């Protein structure tokens, strides 16, 4: 496929950086008209832009993905994220990053995924947790397929008696409900909306910069356990989608909030932060 013109890529990258990789369908239509792009050309351009946000110090393999939500009329970019001198099991895959971006930022479902290469088995299993898994379309450079075709006789939430699915749960703060003292309202909201039907460990992370800007992540579990996305991985992926890296910004603190009696995220969070020599910045809080 032909490379996208630099002016197109530059315009899309600037917008993606300013909006953390989130495009409304109307905004994409404007870019499509402005640059006279076909639908497939626009998708190819977005994949190139998404891959620009990748941080792969180990593999040097840049991957981009797009999660589309037809209900909210938004597209969410994602890119792979690796941590130097840490196990590859801690990486965030591009498909995870795009779904995470959508989940944290107002999407109601994932209608389809666009990926610049066939998804690995890990990502197929992660996508199988979605509320739309059975109907999910996968758009690849080689053509259109479905998650059902890529993952036949799958193992998923239903096999563990879990009727809840990623994106189908909706826990919100009641009007008279406030966050506990010393915990920001935004962090508490993410904590309440964590997807944890297997361990019941509601958990979320807040990364606060010296500029006052904050990045949040929350726990997304998987029936196969290993593809689960930790709160810190989720938050760091959001940081990456804003064009930032933890080692290049001034962090005031990182707060990990977990459910008392179910906590299981401290050690993996410390391992990830070690890659940035930032483990001393972590505050761990458990609440009932």
* Contact partners, residue 39, CB within 8 Å, separation at least 6: 32
pLDDT given at position 173 = 47
* pLDDT greater at residue 1 or residue 145: 145
pLDDT of 25 over the 50 cut: yes
Q: What residue spans of the chain are helical by DSSP H?
A: 6-18, 25-35, 39-51, 94-104, 121-127, 147-150, 185-192, 231-240, 266-274
**Would you state the pLDDT for residue 119?**
96
- DSSP strand E in 91-231: where? 112-115, 137-140, 143-146, 203-209, 214-218
Instruction: Tell me 129's DSSP state.
Output: T
Which whole number is the average pLDDT over 275-285?
Answer: 94
Higher pLDDT, 207 or 84: 207
Residue 169 has pLDDT above 70, yes or no: no
| Average pLDDT taken over every residue of the chain | 93
| 265 touches 235 (CB < 8 A) | no
- What's the mean pLDDT in 149-153? 96
Residue 288 confidence class, pLDDT cut points 50, 70, 90: confident
Q: Which residues are catalytic?
A: 95
Share of the chain above pLDDT 90, in %: 85
pLDDT tens digit string along 209-267? 999 999 999 999 999 998 999 999 999 999 999 999 888 999 999 999 999 999 999 99
Judged against a pLDDT cut of 70, whether residue 172 lies above it is answered with no
The secondary structure of 39-98 as a DSSP string is HHHHHHHHHHHHHTT-B-TTT----EEEEEETTTTEEEEEE-B--TTS-GGG-B-HHHHH
Q: What is the pLDDT of residue 85?
A: 77
pLDDT of amino acid 71 = 96
- Give tens-digit pLDDT for 27-85: 999 999 999 999 999 999 999 999 999 999 999 999 999 999 999 999 999 999 998 87
User: Does 10 have pLDDT greater than 50?
Assistant: yes
Strands 112-115 and 137-140, by their bridges, are parallel
Q: Is the pLDDT of residue 89 over 90?
A: no
């Amino acid at each position: 496929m032909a490379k996208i013109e630099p002016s197109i890529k530059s315009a899309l990258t600037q917008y993606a950086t300013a909006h953390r990789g989130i495009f409304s369908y109307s905004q994409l239509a404007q870019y499509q008209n402005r640059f006279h792009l076909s639908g497939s050309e626009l998708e190819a351009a977005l994949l190139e832009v998404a891959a620009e946000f990748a941080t792969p110090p180990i593999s040097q393999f840049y991957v981009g993905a797009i999660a589309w939500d037809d209900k909210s009329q938004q597209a969410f970019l994602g890119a792979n994220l690796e941590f130097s001198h840490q196990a590859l099991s801690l990486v965030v895959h591009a498909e995870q990053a795009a779904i995470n971006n959508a989940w944290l930022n107002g999407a109601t479902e994932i209608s389809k995924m666009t990926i610049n290469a066939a998804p690995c088995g890990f990502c197929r299993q992660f996508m199988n947790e979605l509320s739309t898994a059975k109907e999910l379309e996968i758009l690849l450079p080689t053509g259109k397929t479905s998650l059902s075709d890529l993952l036949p006789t799958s193992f998923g939430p239903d096999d563990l008696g879990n009727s809840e699915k990623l994106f189908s749960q909706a826990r919100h703060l009641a009007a008279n409900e406030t966050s506990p003292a010393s915990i920001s309202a935004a962090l508490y909201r993410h904590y309440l909306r964590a997807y944890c039907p297997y361990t019941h460990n509601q958990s979320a992370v807040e990364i606060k910069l010296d500029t006052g800007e904050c990045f949040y992540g929350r726990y997304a579990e998987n029936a196969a356990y290993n593809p689960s996305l930790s709160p810190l991985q989720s938050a760091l992926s959001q940081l990456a989608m804003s064009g930032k890296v933890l080692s290049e910004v001034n962090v005031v603190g990182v707060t990990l909030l977990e459910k008392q009696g179910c906590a299981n995220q401290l050690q993996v969070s410390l391992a990830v932060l070690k890659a940035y020599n930032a483990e001393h910045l972590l505050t761990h809080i458990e609440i009932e």
